[in-house]
Amino acid sequence: MPALATLTLVWLGARQPDPAASATLAAWAEANAVRLEGPRHEMPAETAREASIAGRCETLLDQARDQLQAGDEASAGALLAELDQTLRAHPELLQAGWLMAERYRAEARLLRSTSPDGAMAWGQRADIIEGTRAAAFGETATTPASAAKIRVELVVHGARRHEIAWDGVLSSDDVSTLPGEHHLVVLRGARVAWAGWVSALAPGKIDVWVPDAPACSAEDFERVAVDAAMRVSVPPGVRCGSWLAASPGPRPGTLSLTRCHADQCEPSTLFSGALGQAAAPGEPADKTSVLPAWAAWTLAGAGVVAATSFVLWRTGAFETAPESKVLYDGTNL
């Protein structure tokens, strides 16, 4: 018996499909000699591991502060060096920028009595990442009033959709910032797609390469929607070679089904499980027969609300940031 062709199913319902809808889809799949499967899912993030690393960083920072308070500067310096190394090895932590700024401020405190100039330099590095704080009692501001911001363009290649976090704050791709080292995270969907420490010393451009969502993944179908007239809207760039958009039809017992190839779709049809046949849009639906429920449901990624309340169900978690490449065109580093 020849293998059945496989279609990725994207369910565009306001609620999860009920047993009748499942049975109707099963009848359509049998009538068309295809096998339906849910969108693919990328490997989930190691959230427990990331939480452990973040907790370790916070512990190192607290211990360094305690040693400074106790006057043990050597131990404090060793703890701060370990914290620095850990943060540079794990820039995917969203709080890495804040933790690094705190590490710099602790280093400034460490050098305050022996090297005022060195302490000033470390404080300025903290201000570059976190912004200037009000000076504590008995201290002076660390950032010179003459410090001028520069404009940096962040260019993300590859991913169709992304968000940028610059020093822990969501940002546009055109940032105004103090010159120096910064923490950059690129989010693709709900996942960290790239993260690292970048230097911006002069106005210019930073290029980051981020892979697009895998074909037929939940994220590949993000923003696919259906309107009140049963028209499926597909954003440019969907990569899945063969897939089926399904949503409840206008009559009980019917589904609106649309076969698509990448970002191009055929006209929608209504399908009734009772007769195992398609009906033209607008025709009355037949009563749905009772069939064993089709259980292989996997809901797709986040979609855009259409003219009705239909939405594409969301899944996804943070993934470990892959290795990538950064080029800085503003100056030689």
Give yes or no: residues 88 and 9 share one domain.
Answer: no
Q: What is the pLDDT of residue 298?
A: 32
CB 265 within 8 A of CB 258: yes
What pLDDT is attached to residue 133? Answer: 60
Residue at 30 is within a domain: yes
Residue 241, in any domain of the structure: yes
Q: Which of 56, 173, 226, 54 is nearest to 64 (CA)?
A: 56
| Beta strand ranges found along 118-268 (DSSP E) | 150-158, 163-166, 169-171, 174-177, 180-188, 191-200, 204-210, 225-226, 232-233, 243-248, 254-261, 264-265
Residue type, 115: S
Query: CB count, 10 Å around CB of 135?
Result: 11
Give the predicted TM-score (pTM) of the model: 0.69
Task: Decide if 309 is inside a domain.
Answer: no
- Residue 324 confidence (pLDDT): 37
Same domain (yes/no): 66, 140: yes
Residue 64: what residue type? Answer: A
Please report whether residue 69 resides in a domain.
yes
Summarize pLDDT for 80-101 with one digit per residue, the tens.
999 999 999 999 999 999 999 9
Contact predicate 48/22, CB 8 Å: no
Which one of 261, 279, 297 terminates a domain?
Answer: 279
Evaluate whether residue 184 is within a structural domain: no
Tokens of 200: 């911006």
Claim to verify: residue 90 and residue 128 sit in the same structural domain: yes
User: Are 100 and 35 members of one domain?
Assistant: no
Q: Does residue 51 sit in the same domain as residue 71?
A: yes
Q: Quick check: is 323 in a domain?
A: no
Domain end position, chosen among 238, 255, 279: 279
Q: Are residues 83 and 126 in the same domain?
A: yes
Range of 242's domain?
5-39+220-279
The answer to whether residue 275 sits within a structural domain is: yes
Q: What is the pLDDT of residues 200-246, one digit of tens each?
A: 999 999 999 999 989 999 989 989 999 888 889 999 999 999 999 99
Q: Domain total for the chain?
A: 2
Q: Give Cα separations from 45 to 10, 183, 192, 318 (angstroms).
A: 23, 20, 9, 5
- Domain assignment present for residue 192? The answer is no
Closest alpha carbon to 255 in 2, 44, 32: 32
One DSSP character per residue, 227-279 reads: -TT--EE--TT---SSEEEEEE-SSTTEEEEEEEETTEEPPPEEEETTTTEEE
Both 115 and 34 in a single domain?
no
Q: Is the domain of 108 the same as that of 21?
A: no
Q: Which residues of the chain have pLDDT under 50?
A: 137-138, 145, 275-276, 279-333
Last residue in a domain, options 279, 304, 323: 279
